[in-house]
Amino acid sequence: MKTGVAHSENFPVASWLCPPQLRPVIGAIYWFARTADDLADEGNATAAERLADLAAYRQQLAAASITGPDWQPDARWAGVFVPLAKHISTHTLPLQLLHDLLSAFEQDVTRTAAGQWYTTHDELLAYCTLSANPVGRLLLHLYGVTDPQRLAESDCICSALQLINFWQDLSVDLPRQRHYLPLNELDRCGLTPADVLQDALHTHKVAEKSILIANLTNNACDMMQKGQQLPLNIPGRAGWELRLVVQGGLCIARKVSHLQHACLHTRPKLGVWDVPTLLWRAWRMG
């Protein structure tokens, strides 16, 4: 498994709050997604090479779901698929959700290679149904939660987290040709792609950019609010983990809003000094 890339994560994976018996399977799902993300995004491979690797990775996922005692995964990803195959069987993981994650990574590769922007906010949300929502649904599957209302709340939280991450990472994504700002939202604020790509001194259309970022961040927070009952209905440590995930996302959203258009060239992030506030807000949720 690829280990040479240092990654920055806002939210804990399989942390001490997670139910101990689920940490191995959650860790396996995380490394499955993390490795696929690296295939799509890291290094100097061409788009064609990335798509070929992701196709081979998808084949490994299919094989892992029907593996027998003699199955030998691709040596490149043995560290991913040997444990994942076991957990797919033990926990009856919904394979389509894992395939959806790979579809999101493939979409990233093709859109980045084409320099393509998302046309509308709804189109971006459709991407989130592949890139973010499967993670929440996989966790609820492990927690034994199948109620449609809870699944819908999970989708709201996960899509909101994905959107907040987009606005947090504008200064990183835009130079890499990752264009998540919807064109209709730019147009609504009197902006063009060139306005956000070419303002090296950050002095061009400052007010319009501030309004754009505020609108997008507020929309994400409104979506998060629609899912906030979910952590209160998940008992024990898992519920507290979800509370902190929600509050971590909202904290980043506040930092993005405070920066206004500056997040086009500055990446806000959580720090140790935010922990007391996160704990307090998580406790206040109910």
- At residue 99, the pLDDT reads 98
Rounded to whole angstroms, the Cα distance separating 67 from 73 reads: 9
Rounded to whole angstroms, the Cα distance separating 85 from 62 reads: 10
Is there a domain that residue 212 lies in? yes
- At residue 16, the pLDDT reads 57
State whether 143 and 220 are in the same domain. yes
State whether 88 and 126 are in the same domain. no
- At residue 3, the pLDDT reads 33
Rounded to whole angstroms, the Cα distance separating 170 from 186 reads: 14
CATH of the domain at 229: 1.10.600.10
- At residue 17, the pLDDT reads 67
Rounded to the nearest 5 degrees, what angle is found at the Cα of 170, between the Cα atoms of 167 and 174? 145
Rounded to whole angstroms, the Cα distance separating 31 from 26 reads: 9
Per-residue tens of pLDDT for the chain, all 286 residues: 333 333 444 444 445 567 889 999 999 999 999 999 999 998 899 999 999 999 999 999 999 998 776 788 999 999 999 999 999 999 999 999 999 999 999 999 999 999 999 999 999 999 999 999 999 999 999 999 999 999 999 999 999 999 999 999 999 999 988 999 999 999 999 999 999 998 877 888 999 999 999 999 999 999 999 999 999 999 888 898 899 999 999 999 999 988 877 888 899 998 889 989 989 999 999 7
The pTM of the full predicted model, rounded to 2 decimals, is 0.91
Last residue of a domain, one of 116, 133, 152: 116
State whether 121 and 67 are in the same domain. no
Rounded to whole angstroms, the Cα distance separating 19 from 237 reads: 6
- In the chain, the number of structural domains is 2
Range of the domain at 145: 117-286
- At residue 4, the pLDDT reads 34
- At residue 67, the pLDDT reads 78
Is there a domain that residue 14 lies in? no
